Structure 1
Amino acid sequence: MVAAIRQVVDRRLTRYLLASVGALAVDMGTFLALLTLGPSLELAPAGASASGYALGIAAHWLMSSRAVFVGSLAERGVARHRQKVLFVASALIGLALTTGIVGAGDRAGFDPRIAKLAAIGVSFSVTWLLRSRIVFR
């Protein structure tokens, strides 16, 4: 029984990792494009990071709700709305972590891309825990 539960969790984590990679592609593509355009847009690296993350959130909901947590997706109506609110709340926690880490790294003189890599690891871990244990419970 324990082995079966572990196998389901492992598969779900693998699917979540793949969904995160897809969302990260949206996030990083936006981030790098805005970094390139940043000086002309007067956009700081933390703002570019927040914008990329926000678009990644939308992509992640689509992939998570349709491919990762399929059996845990709430029925339409109040329950689904609650789930979306919790998902967005978990994403905002990840956004705050990401923006804070990139902003702190930038102020400390680190290359924003290196700070973003650190932020990715922290945000992934925190949002996985929140989503697997609270949002899609």
Structure 2
Amino acid sequence: MALLRLAHAGIRLGTRVVYLRYLAASVIALATDVALFLLLIGANAPPTAASVIGYSAGILVHWLLSSRAVFTEARANTQGGQHRQRMLFLLSALLGLALTALIVAAGGWLGLDPRLAKLLAIVVSFQAVWLLRRHIVFAR
């Protein structure tokens, strides 16, 4: 019984470590995303387009970090497996992108400041994409 509790605690700790690494990768990708978003809206780009371009740059940064530093033990070993992971990662990113674009656009329709709408989009898309990547893209 004690061994089972210890094993369960180890699994929870491992999940927390992966989540913290994912959070760090997300912060770096988010910084890329938001910096580009703010730069573009500062240059009078349409907010929805700026959010799509920023998020797309963040996707690339996140893939590089996730596949090399976050889900290291769940990285596919075969070329077919790696291709599948990249495609699933891209699909999860596209879902996050769609959520981001929809939330920023809806914020615009509601008259919200684009930065506030982007912040809301960040919170919603982060959790949705984390769940997909943890349980589908990089599932063991």
Report the TM-score range of the alignment, normalised by the length of the smaller protein: over 0.9
Task: Report the equivalent of 2:90.
Answer: 88
1:46 matched to 2:39: no
TM-score (normalizing by structure 2): 0.93
Alpha-carbon deviation of 1:44?
A: 1.4
Q: Which runs of 5+ in 2 are unaligned?
A: 1-6
1:25 matched to 2:27: no
Task: Report the equivalent of 2:111.
Answer: 109
1:8 matched to 2:10: no
Q: Which runs of 5+ in 1 are unaligned?
A: none
Task: Report the equivalent of 2:4.
Answer: none
**After superposition, what is the alpha-carbon deviation per residue over 1:73-132, rounded to whole angstroms, capped at 9, x for unaligned?**
112411100000000000000000000000100111000000000000001000000000
Amino acid at match of 1:7: L
Alpha-carbon deviation of 1:58?
A: 0.2
**After superposition, what is the alpha-carbon deviation per residue over 1:56-80, rounded to whole angstroms, capped at 9, x for unaligned?**
0000000001110001011241110
Q: Distance in 2 between matches of 1:55 and 1:62?
A: 11
| Runs of at least 4 residues off by over 4 Å | none
Amino acid at match of 1:23: A
CA RMSD of aligned residues (A): 0.7
Alignment size in residue pairs = 133
TM-score (normalizing by structure 1): 0.95
Q: Distance in 2 between matches of 1:34 and 1:89?
A: 25
Structure (1 or 2) with the larger CA radius of gyration: 2
